[in-house]
Structure 1
Amino acid sequence: MSKLESAKSAIEAEISHARQGLAYYQSRIEVLEQTLAQLDSIIDLETTPPARGRRKYGQTTSSRTPAKRGRPRKPTVGTSSTAPELPPTPSDYWLGLITDTPRSAAEILKSAIGSLGFDPTPVQVKKLRQRLPPALQSLLESKKIQDSGSRRERRFFKA
């Protein structure tokens, strides 16, 4: 009889464990459904065009204007209205800055900044800095340039 009672208690423990798991997943589903509903309402707000017509006294318009791709344009810190835009930087642009003499990525970035013909803003320098590594990787993969060293000692030069 003790085997039957131990089997009964094992089954009861399994049922208790299953109910706890069921309660966990039900609460998880509720949280996820609430999050999904919030995202839907945010998406609806972004895609709804602004109302046209006269504004009431004291009502202001949104400072966010739609960008070319439909995303809200974010104000950038450190940009100047007098600074020209960055030129396109395809791989040929970066290839023209790489010489036969091995140079680090920082040195290539400095020569890119110098070749602009104007003083870039900190945001523009950051953008150039972000464009450099993928361009160098692309040039390395196409075997137009070579590299030596690793990490801080890595130098790039024409093949």
Structure 2
Amino acid sequence: MSNLRAARDSLAAELAHARQGLAFYDARVAALEDTLAKLENLNSDAGLREKTRRPGREKRPGAKAAEKTKQAGNLPQTGKEFWTGLIGNQPKSTKEILESAIKALGISPSKDDLKKLSQRQANALHTLVKEKLISDTGAGRERRFYRPV
């Protein structure tokens, strides 16, 4: 009986580990795709802007902000404070943080919204760690984020 219980517990732990890995790589793929798309847009936009814009004519002041709003879709804004507020003293995985974000926003995200939110999360966590507002421990699937005391 105890062998079956131990086997079941082992399989459950392995399944949880695999799900964490899947979430990590899903976020990683989304971030890389987003970066690649931005680079491709920069290349194509730079050539078009030089050809089509007349000298001395600038975009209206709020144009850049309006473009960002269009790209955001149905998701509310998630700034640095939002992501920092989701991280406490106890280390959390990216999956746990993403689940907390969905609850905090009170949304039921579509597949595209989930992808966008994962991209935002990856960028925010990287920036917060770099600015030393939060700390991280571990690597890869075992990486956890927390607020230092």
- Secondary structure of the structure 2 residue equivalent to 1:156: strand
Give the CA deviation at 1:108.
0.4
Aligned-residue sequence identity (percent) comes to 43
Structure 1 unaligned spans of 5+: 1-38, 48-67, 80-84
Tell me if 1:154 matches 2:143: yes
CA deviations over 1:69-106 (Å, ceiling 9, x no partner): 4xxx89xxxx9xxxxx2111111110000011101111
Map 1:78-93 to 2 at 5 A.
Answer: 85-93=74-82
TM-score, normalised by the number of residues in structure 1: 0.47
Structure 2 unaligned spans of 5+: 1-43, 53-65
Map 1:60-75 to 2 at 5 A.
Answer: 69=67
| RMSD (Å) for aligned C-alpha atoms | 2.9
Q: Give the distance between the partners of 1:102 and 1:91, measured in 2 at CA.
A: 18
Match of 1:127 in 2: 116
Tell me if 1:103 matches 2:92: yes
* Selected match of 2:101 from 92, 99, 112: 112
Tell me the number of residue pairs that the alignment of Structure 1 and Structure 2 aligns. 87
Structure number with the higher helix fraction is 2
Rg bigger for which structure?
A: 1
TM-score, normalised by the number of residues in structure 2: 0.50
Give the CA deviation at 1:118.
2.3
Greater relative contact order: 1 or 2 (C-alpha under 8 angstroms, separation 6 or more)? Answer: 2
Match of 1:139 in 2: 128
CA deviations over 1:103-147 (Å, ceiling 9, x no partner): 111110111111111212111111000111110111111111111
Q: Give the distance between the partners of 1:114 and 1:125, measured in 2 at CA.
A: 13
